[in-house]
């Protein structure tokens, strides 16, 4: 009888071990997946709308007004800058909708015939490079910044130029557009007051770095939890979430009348190596704009 009880307990223990052996790896995978999702969810986009500034060019048969194939969607915790321009003819005009709500309309510019290009066998101005078209004032374009969150974009061609003076419109619409994470390059000062900015890699101390405020950059808008410095992505050694500590780090280090945010990073965590000549400080504002700046460094010591 006792032998049977021991055997049952042993069998039960084996079953528990087997079940745990199956569940624990699955839980670990689930945790890892969750962790990855959290990172990926920070910036995600559909294949149709990359957020790296890649131009999307469309040339679709349509009559005005008509929507291009779409929509184009993304989800981002950062601000996204959306740029749209006419490309092949002067001048298509567009309306941009976000979740079916009109958010911007490109300007009404003179058509190619009005600009004096009309004539026998004369094609309207066109560009194969969207960047060139964007810089050409004859092509209707616009830029809009979208706040963080989910967006679904539709584009409507509301005007297509005529084939010839007084003639019918072209039978197609053309557009180029891109989306990119909105970033702002600002001035920083590594080791304020020093020149050159010498850093001894063997030092057990800290490297002070300042985001410099200006008329276009208010350092108090920076989310201190996003600050990173150098190739090692070092984070501040002080608790800048503490109001008293934070106040001590707001200084006007270059005496220009604007507050600067001074941060300190452990030298051992900055990740600089012999031969490096500069380092970058990055962060994000509370409304999702990426801010960054680069300053020179002088690596010293053995």
CATH number at residue 281: 2.60.40
Last residue of a domain, one of 181, 198, 221: 181
Average pLDDT of the segment spanning 4-11: 43
Looking at the fold, whether 164 and 223 belong to one and the same domain comes out as: no
Q: What is the pLDDT of residue 30?
A: 34
> C-alpha angle 284/290/292, rounded to 5°?
95
pTM: 0.69
Is 161 buried (19+), middle (13-18) or exposed (0-12) by CB count in 10 A?
A: buried
Q: What is the pLDDT of residue 5?
A: 42
Q: Assess whether pLDDT exceeds 50 at residue 27.
A: no
Q: What is the pLDDT of residues 28-81, one digit of tens each?
A: 333 333 322 232 343 444 446 889 999 999 999 987 789 999 899 999 888 999
Domain residue limits at 94: 45-181
Question: Residue 32, Cβ neighbours under 10 Å: how many?
Answer: 10
* Tokens read off for 133: 């078209």
Looking at the fold, whether 189 and 212 belong to one and the same domain comes out as: yes
Looking at the fold, whether 158 and 242 belong to one and the same domain comes out as: no
Q: What is the pLDDT of residue 20?
A: 36
Last residue of a domain, one of 153, 181, 209: 181
Last residue of a domain, one of 158, 181, 204: 181
* Interior/surface letters 8-25, b for 16+ CB within 10 angstroms, e for the rest: eeeeeeeeeeeeeeeeee
Pairing of strands 278-285, 222-229: antiparallel
Q: What is the pLDDT of residues 202-219, one digit of tens each?
A: 999 999 999 999 999 999
For residue 294, name the pLDDT band (cuts at 50, 70, 90). very high
């Amino acid at each position: 009888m006792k032998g049977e009880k021991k055997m049952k307990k042993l069998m039960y223990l084996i079953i528990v071990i087997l079940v745990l052996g199956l569940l624990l790896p699955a839980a670990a995978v689930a945790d890892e997946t969750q962790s990855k999702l959290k990172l990926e969810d920070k910036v995600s986009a559909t294949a149709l709308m990359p957020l790296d500034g890649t131009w999307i060019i469309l040339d679709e048969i349509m009559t005005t007004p008509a929507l291009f194939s779409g929509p184009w969607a993304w989800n981002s915790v950062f601000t996204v800058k959306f740029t749209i321009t006419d490309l092949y003819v002067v001048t298509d005009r567009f309306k941009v909708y976000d979740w079916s709500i009109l958010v911007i309309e490109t300007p009404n510019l003179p058509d190619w015939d009005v600009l004096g290009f009309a004539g026998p066998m004369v094609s309207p101005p066109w560009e194969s490079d969207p960047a060139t078209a964007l810089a050409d004032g004859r092509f209707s374009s616009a830029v809009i910044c979208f706040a963080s969150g989910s967006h679904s974009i539709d584009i409507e061609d509301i005007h297509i130029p005529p084939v010839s003076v007084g003639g019918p419109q072209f039978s197609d619409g053309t557009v180029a557009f891109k989306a990119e994470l909105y970033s702002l390059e600002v001035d920083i000062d590594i080791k304020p007051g020093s020149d050159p900015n010498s850093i001894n890699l063997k030092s057990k101390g800290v490297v002070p770095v300042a985001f410099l405020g200006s008329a276009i950059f208010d350092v108090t808008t920076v989310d201190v939890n996003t600050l990173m410095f150098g190739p090692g992505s070092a984070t501040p050694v002080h608790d800048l979430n503490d109001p008293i500590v934070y106040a001590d780090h707001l200084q006007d280090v270059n005496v220009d009348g604007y507050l600067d945010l001074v941060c300190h990073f452990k030298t051992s965590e900055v990740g600089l190596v012999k031969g490096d000549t500069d380092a970058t400080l990055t962060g994000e504002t509370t409304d999702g704009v990426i801010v960054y700046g680069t300053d020179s460094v002088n690596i010293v010591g053995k």
